[in-house]
């Protein structure tokens, strides 16, 4: 198994990078992805093919889209079997009335947050890590 599974370790070592650009979600009912299109993710569903791509790319190809958002990459190598990591982050974002669409890659988790709320999300992620480090410090009795 690859990646960290310990929730406390994941939270206290959490760092994040805001990825440049605005992303959107689009769907293609027939599943045919246009040639020469650059996507961040393609996911086949029964109802159609979901694409996550830059807003500019969707507009270039004339694709209808929803949810203009910003992508934040979590710079911890979490295991695909880690329990509670994304749930904890989603819970904290919820406290600030912010939805999130998380996507897990092999090495990292990526959060898609509403465009315009990315700085709020980054501050919340920093606070999660800071609080986890403080709690760990207090538990060790240092």
Global pTM value:
0.89
CATH number for position 95: 3.30.2130.10
Task: Report CA-CA distances (Å) from 39 to 3, 55, 58, 64.
Answer: 25, 10, 9, 14
Residue 126 domain flag: yes
Q: Taking residues 98-126, report their average pLDDT.
A: 96
**Average of per-residue pLDDT across 101-107:** 93
Q: How confident is the model at residue 138 (pLDDT cuts 50, 70, 90)?
A: very low
14-36 residue pLDDT tens: 999 999 999 999 999 877 888 89
> Helix, strand, or coil here: 70?
strand
**Residue 1: inside a domain, yes or no?**
no
Number of domains in the chain: 1
Give the span between the Cα atoms of 2 and 10, in whole angstroms.
13
Q: Provide the mean pLDDT of the chain.
A: 91
In a domain, 2, yes or no: no
Task: Please report how many Cα atoms fall inside a 13 Å half-sphere around the Cα of residue 20, on the Cβ side.
Answer: 0
First to last CA, the chain: 32
Q: Structural domain of residue 124, as residue ranges?
A: 7-140
């Amino acid at each position: 198994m690859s990646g960290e599974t310990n929730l406390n370790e994941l939270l206290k070592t959490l760092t994040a990078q805001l990825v440049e650009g605005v992303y959107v979600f689009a769907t293609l009912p027939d599943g045919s992805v246009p040639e020469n299109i650059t996507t961040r993710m393609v996911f086949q569903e029964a109802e159609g093919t979901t694409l996550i791509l830059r807003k500019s790319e969707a507009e270039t190809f004339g694709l209808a889209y929803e949810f203009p958002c910003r992508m934040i990459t979590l710079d911890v190598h979490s295991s695909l079997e880690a329990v509670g990591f994304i749930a904890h982050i989603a819970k904290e974002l919820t406290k600030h009335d912010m939805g999130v669409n998380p996507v897990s890659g092999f090495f990292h988790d990526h959060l898609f947050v509403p465009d315009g709320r990315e700085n709020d999300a980054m501050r919340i992620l920093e606070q999660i890590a800071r609080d986890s480090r403080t709690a760990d410090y207090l538990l060790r009795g240092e």
